[in-house]
Structure 1
């Protein structure tokens, strides 16, 4: 997305203010409030992109590696997921809000392509900036005055530089979860996926990437198994947690192990995240046992 975006002029007195404010309020209410909208929208958008990149299956780590048709599909996926998230119905355009036909446009670049059928109709504008890890959610009435004179071969026009001021933003520069696989080195990714079994790959994941919350989706992608959560739990000495414990590495759940995570000074994890930690010294070994990690590895495996 463009780094320099003008402030919105969609305030009282603007011809689109009443309509866009009403649609904005409806979207926010349907999402459960402003905070819930920011969280669920950014998470949904990240999932839409990652599900197409498919790093565990394809080895690709970025949006730039996708085929043209795959990039197009992300826009379709965002449209479907956004409707589901807000419980909106399909309309003459992409959806209907407060009785108005509304188009949904998505971009991973710096602008949106507005089709002729959306002219003079409200549009939901969605954007993700993979490099800066921020996302956007805005509303505009696609009036001809807000669009470029030029058009592409499909007669679609973009929003003009001046037209950007006529966007009412619900989310602007909203922090957006970075693609996990872009945050770690390529050789680390290779070592993680070199394992032949789900246990081997998950053990490599939590051995290589420590002290960083890891989402359930990443764990599932690495495991490539239906009952991947069984591998996370202690499993009669065979689970990922058991293997790592013998190396003095704790595999902690944000849901079950929050007190120990806090006492070790690790980043806060949500209930669906996991984090690993290499114990250092006898005191941490004792602390882990106090929290129920009786099978933790021998003191000789600790880093003193």
Structure 2
């Protein structure tokens, strides 16, 4: 999305003010309030994108790796998920709000393509900027005066540079969960995925990325196996947690180890996140041992791990 957007002209006296404010109020109420909308809408976008990338099955890790048809399908997913989030019915266009037909338009770029059937109708505009992890949710009445004169082969026009000022924003340049892999050093990512088994890849993930919460879907993507949760737990000395413990690294679950995570002064983890760390201070090691971990003596060679691999 464009980083420099004009200030919205939607204010009392604007021709579209009353209708857009009425629709925006209804959308916010259906979401459960402005704060709930700010929380759930960004998470919904992240889910829609990641579900199409399908890293656990495809090995792809970025939007840019998708086929053209898959990129188009993200718009369909957003439409379906947004209707579900707001408990909206289908309409003559994409949905119906307060008895009015509303078109839902999604973009991963810098503009939206408005079809002829949506001209002079309210449009609910959705945008996700993967590079900056920012999202947008706005409303516009798709009047010809707000659109470019040039059309594509399907007769669709986009919103003109001046027309952006006629958007009422519910969320503008709002943060949403970043693509995990985009935030990591490419060499580090290559190292993680260079291993041939799910267990060694997961161990590499938590060995290389410590003191930072890692979501369950990231772990699943790295494991690329059905029973990945069994591997992340202690598994008779063979699980990822066991292997890392032998190296002096704690692998903690936000669901089961929340008290230890807090005691170690690590970042908060939700119930579906994990975090690893290497206790350096004696009181940290004592806390880990009280929780049942058996860490090797500092400087000792991990059992079963040659010095050349440390």
Q: Answer whether TM exceeds 0.5 for this pair.
A: yes
Relative distance call for 1:53 and 1:301 in structure 2 (3 A) is farther
Q: Distance in 2 between matches of 1:294 and 1:132?
A: 39
- Matched residues, number: 302
Corresponding residue for residue 2 of structure 2: 2
SS across alignment from 1:179: coil
Counterpart residue number, 2:237: 237
CA contact (8 A) 2:56 2:223 kept: no
Over 3 Å counting, the alpha-carbon distance change for 1:101 and 1:248 in structure 2 is same
Q: 1:252 to 1:196 in 2, by over 3 A?
A: same
Range 183-192 or range 113-122, more displaced: 183-192
Determine if contact 2:59/2:221 at 8 Å carries over to the other structure. no
Report the RMSD for the aligned CA atoms in angstroms.
2.1
Match of residue 293 from structure 2: 294
Deviation at 1:2, TM superposition (A): 0.9
TM-score normalised by structure 1 residue count: 0.91
Q: Which runs of structure 2 are paired with 1:108-257 in the superposition (5 Å)? A: 108-257=108-257
Structure 2 SS opposite 1:211: coil
Q: CA deviation at 1:57?
A: 4.2
Check the 8 A contact 2:92/2:101 in 1, yes or no. yes
Contact 1:246 1:298 in 2 (8 A): no
Classify the secondary structure of the residue corresponding to 1:243.
helix
Q: Is the 8 A contact 1:285 1:299 kept in 2?
A: no
- Unpaired runs of at least 5, structure 2: 302-310
Q: Secondary structure at the residue paired with 2:191?
A: helix
Query: Is the partner of 2:137 in helix, strand or coil?
Result: strand
Query: Match of 1:151, SS?
Result: coil
Structure 1 residue 139: Cα displacement: 0.7
Cα pair distance change 1:256/1:32, threshold 3 Å: farther
- Flag structure 1 segments of 5+ consecutive residues without an equivalent: none
How far is the alpha carbon of 1:297 from its aligned partner? 3.9
